[in-house]
Structure 1
Amino acid sequence: MKRNFNDIIDSEVPVLVDFFADWCGPCKMLAPILKQVKEELGDAVKVIKIDVDKNQPLAAKYQVRGVPTMLLFKNGKQLWRQSGVLQKNDIVSVIQQHF
């Protein structure tokens, strides 16, 4: 079952959305970093990846013009966004501010 994006981000648990593309080099660098973030924070965060080439209307809705772009949602509200690659500790610290 494919869940509606709005259902996913309308969560008490912070949801980190990674807008990426298969052809994007920095996106490939970010993927293992996000895996480490998930390992460190466990169930305290959801991490989902959105392929901008396959989800153009969603990317347009959030005005994602460059990849990777990360957005953090909680209870359906966008709390933070950042384009480019960040280090694990920087991402963890942003998420922890919104627990």
Structure 2
Amino acid sequence: MAGEVIELSDAAFHHEVLESREPVLVDFTATWCPPCRFIAPIIEALAVEYRGRMKMTRLDVDAHPETASQYGIRAMPTLLIFKEGKVVRQLVGALPRAKLEQEVLAQL
């Protein structure tokens, strides 16, 4: 998907997420998932709004199953927020924008 959200792969995960100096939201998603499609534009909008303060990323669990398995992802969408390479928050489901933005702000 075009825009500010970084498309991750298993190979890029370590560099883009675990080595990031800024907090990172990882959207574990799948193309067949309707709730994932619901929150995608919300995450895109937040990526623009919080550029430089929090990195927004997306990982397709079907295309890149290794990382999803490593983090025990069982439901989509699952959002993990990382700070300094560690998971600090896990959110499951299609959250409304206000709730998702509240979670992002809590980590800045």
Normalised to the residue count of structure 1, the TM-score between the two structures is 0.90
Tell me the equivalent position of 2:5.
none
Equivalence map 1:41-60=2 (5 Å): 41-60=50-69
Q: 3-state DSSP class of the match of 1:72?
A: strand
4, 23, 29: which one aligns with 1:14: 23
Q: Secondary structure of 1:53's match?
A: coil
Structure 2's unaligned 5+ residue stretches are 1-8
Does the aligned pair in 2 maintain the 1:36–1:88 contact within 8 Å?
no
Larger displacement relative to structure 2 (20-29 or 8-17) = 8-17
Deviations 1:36-86 (A, max 9, x none): 211221221111110000111111100000111100001101010111011
Identity %: 34
- Count the aligned residue pairs: 98
| Rounded Cα–Cα distance in structure 2 between residues aligned with 1:88 and 1:52 | 23
Q: TM-score, normalised by structure 2?
A: 0.83
Structure 1 segments unaligned to the other structure (5+ residues): none
